Amino acid sequence: MTDIALNTTHGPSRNWGKLALRWLLFTLLGIFALFYLMPLFVMVTTSLKSLEEIRTGSLVAFPREVTFEAWRTAWSGACTGIQCEGLRPYFWNSVILAIPAVAISTILGAINGYVIAQWKFKGANLIFSLMLFGCFIPFQVVLLPMARMLGIMGIAGTIPGLIFVHVIYGIGFTTLFFRNYYVSIPQELVKAAKVDGAGFFRIFWSIFLPLSLPIIVVTVIWQFTQIWNDFLFGVSFSQAGTQPITVALNNIVNSTTGVKEYNVDMAAAIIAALPTLLVYVVAGKYFIRGLTAGSVKG
């Protein structure tokens, strides 16, 4: 912890300067807060206005008359191309896509991390480096062969296909998270357990897993955010009916038929953002930990 409030030089004449500085500080912080909050504010207020009010009123004004019509349309009536079922089916696509993809990649990451951190064998570090490197590649470089591979496997354009893709390209990160967590657990623990006759899986199950709650939370949040917010894989490997919510949102916003309904666009954007925002608000601490862990190395 550093202890560095704006340096104080004593004496009553300095107090005014200090106070002014303090005000300046809060003003600046307030302006920045407004900059970050403004888009959210505009999204929410726009989504609650009628189109008429949007055309006549100001961007940053509160709605004169609150209407949830746009939300209803966004959820169950907006057109994504030729279909007009709103975001609802795509929201559920994203849910049934994210749950297994997050679960499988987290489980694989845990077991991989456990091996790499605690059961070192010759070449384990090389394997880890290769996996780590896989986190950094621009996914464009695997899009074409993956599209063909999914076709060969018979899961092109399906949700299982998307789950498969997210699991494969999520393993690197989840392994990294668990490896870095398990590496700080003393190896004597495994040795002692082995002497007591416990095997590989028993040690994982009874010793490591119970210690893992924080890193499981971090990994699940990280993976959920990544997968829910993904657009590139979604748009490349889905077809009409299996698209995740980000793709549907983009289709609603960019659909060229009919009147542009900005209030519906904003309601749809908020719906698409809600799950990850909720996770952020509820578990912000773990979210930030994942971000910094994943970024200092990822």
CB nearer to another protein: give 84 or 143: 143
Cα–Cα distance, 225 to 220 (Å, whole number):
8
Length of the chain in residues, anyone? 298
Binding to another protein, residues 159-188 (CB under 8 A): 168-169, 171-172, 175
Q: Which of 12, 13, 16, 35 binds another protein (CB under 8 A)?
A: 35
Instruction: State in angstroms the smallest separation of the CB of 132 from another protein.
Output: 7
Of residues 19, 66, 130, 240, which one binds another protein by CB under 8 A? 130
Cβ-based burial of 155 (10 A; exposed 0-12, middle 13-18, buried ≥19): middle
Which of 97, 264, 266, 293 contacts another protein by CB under 8 A? 266
- The three-point CA angle 148-155-76 to 5° equals 115
Q: Smallest distance, Å, CB 163 to another protein?
A: 14
If one asks whether residue 46 binds another protein (CB under 8 A), the answer comes out as yes
Tell me how far apart the terminal alpha carbons of the chain are, to the nearest angstrom. 26
Q: Which of residues 64-93 bind another protein (CB under 8 A)?
A: none
Q: Which one among 33, 153, 192, 211 touches another protein, defined by CB under 8 A?
A: 33
62 or 139, CB closer to another protein?
139
When asked if residue 156 is in the footprint of another protein (CB under 8 A), the reply is no
Contacts of 210 (CB under 8 A, 6+ apart): none
Of positions 19, 20, 38, 96, contacts another protein by CB under 8 A: 38
Q: Does 107 bind another protein (CB under 8 A)?
A: no
The answer to whether the beta carbons of residues 116 and 127 sit under 8 Å apart is yes
Residue with Cβ nearer another protein (138 or 186): 138
Count of residues in contact with another protein, rule CB under 8 A: 100
The whole-angstrom separation of Cα 264 and Cα 91 is: 15
> Does residue 48 belong to the site contacting another protein (CB under 8 A)?
no
Q: Is 28 in the site for another protein (CB under 8 A)?
A: yes
Instruction: Say whether residue 9 binds another protein (CB under 8 A).
Output: yes
Greatest pairwise CA separation for the chain in angstroms:
79
Instruction: Yes or no: say if 190 and 204 are a contact pair by the CB < 8 Å rule.
Output: no
CA-CA distances (angstroms) from residue 140 to 5, 35, 75, 146, 231?
47, 33, 31, 10, 12
Is residue 112 part of the contact set for another protein (CB under 8 A)? yes
Nearest CA to 168 among 149, 191, 183? 149
Name the segment binding another protein (CB under 8 A); options: 63-71, 84-92, 114-122, 206-214: 114-122
